[in-house]
Copies of this chain bind each other. A is one copy, B any other.
Amino acid sequence: MTAKRNLKRFFAPRNVAVVGASATKGRPGRVVIENMRANGYAGNIYPVNPRGGRLLGMKVYKTIEDLPSGIDLAIVILAAQATPQAVRDCAARKIGSIVLVAGGFAEVDHAGEDLQEELARAAHETGVRVLGPNTAGHISTPADFTSSFFPLGKIPKGGISYVAQTGNFTGAMMKHIMSAENYGVARCIGLGNTVDIDETDVFEFLATDKHTDAIFFYLESLRRPRDFIEIARKVTPKKPVIMLKGGATPDGAAAALSHTASLGSDDRILDGALRQAGVVRIDEFSHLFLAAKAAAPMPVPAGNRVGFVSPSGAFIVHISDLCRQRLNLTFPNLTKKTMDRLKEISPPFIRLSNPVDIFPSATVHGMEYAYREAMEAVFKDPNVDAVVSIMILTKELGMPSLDFIPELAAKYPKKPLYISFSGDHACNEEAKAFLEPRGVPTFPLIEDAFKALDILVRAGQALKS
Q: Is the CB of A248 within 8 A of B325?
A: yes
**A165 contacts the other chain (Cβ, under 8 Å)?**
yes
Place the interface of chain A in its size category. Answer: 35 or more
B256 touches A317 (CB 8 A): yes
Q: Does A323 contact B (CB under 8 A)?
A: yes
Q: Are B425 and A180 in contact (CB under 8 A)?
A: yes
B311 touches A172 (CB 8 A): yes
Stretch of A139-147, A233-241, A390-398 at the chain-chain interface: A390-398
A80 closest partner in B (C-beta): B349
The answer, yes or no, to whether A254 is at the interface (CB within 8 Å) is yes
A273 to chain B, nearest CB (A): 19
A2 close to B (CB within 8 Å) = no
Q: Which residues of B contact A401 (CB under 8 A)?
A: none
Q: Do the beta carbons of A314 and B355 come within 8 Å of each other?
A: no
Q: Which residues of B contact A322 (CB under 8 A)?
A: 283-284
The answer to whether B284 touches A172, judged by C-beta atoms less than 8 angstroms apart, is no
What residues make up the interface of A, taking CB atoms closer than 8 Å to B? 104, 107-109, 151-153, 164-168, 171-173, 175-176, 179-180, 218, 220, 244, 246-252, 254-256, 258-260, 283-286, 311-318, 320-325, 331, 349-350, 355, 357, 392, 394, 396-397, 422-426, 445-447
Knowing A284-B322, A284-B447, A394-B172 are in contact, say whether A316-B259 is a contact too (CB < 8 A).
yes
CB distance from A227 to the nearest CB of B (A): 23
A283: chain B residues at CB < 8 Å are 321-322, 325
Rounded to whole Å, the gap between the CB of A268 and the closest CB of chain B is 13
Bound-state CA distance A152–B397 (Å) is 10
Question: Is A166 a contact partner of B424 (Cβ separation < 8 A)?
Answer: no
Q: Is the CB of A316 within 8 A of B255?
A: yes
Which of A251, A256, A321, A424 gathers the greatest number of chain B CB atoms within 10 Å?
A321
Question: In the assembly, what is the distance between CA of A108 and CA of B322, in Å?
Answer: 24
Residues of B within 8 Å of A320, CB to CB, are 249, 251-252, 254-255
Most buried by B among A153, A218, A318, A397: A318
Most buried by B among A109, A285, A316, A331: A285
Tell me whether B321 and A251 are in contact (CB under 8 A).
yes
Q: How often does this chain occur in the complex, in copies?
A: 2
Distance of A311 Cα from B284 Cα, bound (Å): 18
CB-CB nearest in chain B for A103: B360
- The answer to whether B317 touches A247, judged by C-beta atoms less than 8 angstroms apart, is yes
Of the listed residues A152, A168, A314, A394, the one surrounded by the most CB atoms of chain B closer than 10 A to its CB is A314
The answer to whether B151 touches A317 (Cβ under 8 A) is: no
- Do B172 and A246 touch across chains, with their CB atoms under 8 A apart? no
20 A-B pairs with CB atoms under 8 Å apart are A108-B349, A152-B396, A164-B314, A168-B312, A172-B392, A176-B422, A246-B318, A247-B321, A249-B324, A252-B320, A252-B321, A252-B324, A254-B320, A259-B314, A260-B313, A284-B318, A285-B318, A285-B446, A286-B445, A286-B447
Distance between A395 CB and nearest chain B CB, rounded to angstroms: 9
Select from chain B the residue with minimum beta-carbon distance to A447: B284
A179 to B176, CA, bound (A): 22
Pick the contact of A314 from B246, B316, B425 — CB < 8 Å?
B246
**Which of B153, B252, B423 is close to A318, meaning CB atoms less than 8 Å apart?**
B252
A22 to B249, CA, bound (A): 61
Given A285-B446, A349-B104, A394-B151, CB of A321 within 8 Å of CB of B422? no
- Chain B neighbourhood of A218, CB < 8 A: 314
Closest 3 CB pairs of A and B: A259-B313, A151-B396, A252-B321
> By the criterion CB–CB under 8 Å, are A423 and B175 in contact?
yes
Give the nearest-CB partner of A109 in chain B: B349
Which residue on B lies nearest to A285, using beta carbons? B318
Contact B258 A423 (CB under 8 A): no
Contact of A447 among B173, B285, B331, B424 (CB under 8 A): B285
A317–B394 CA distance with the chains assembled, in angstroms: 40
**CB neighbours of A258 from chain B (8 A):** 313, 357
What is the minimal beta-carbon distance from A343 to any residue of chain B, in angstroms?
14
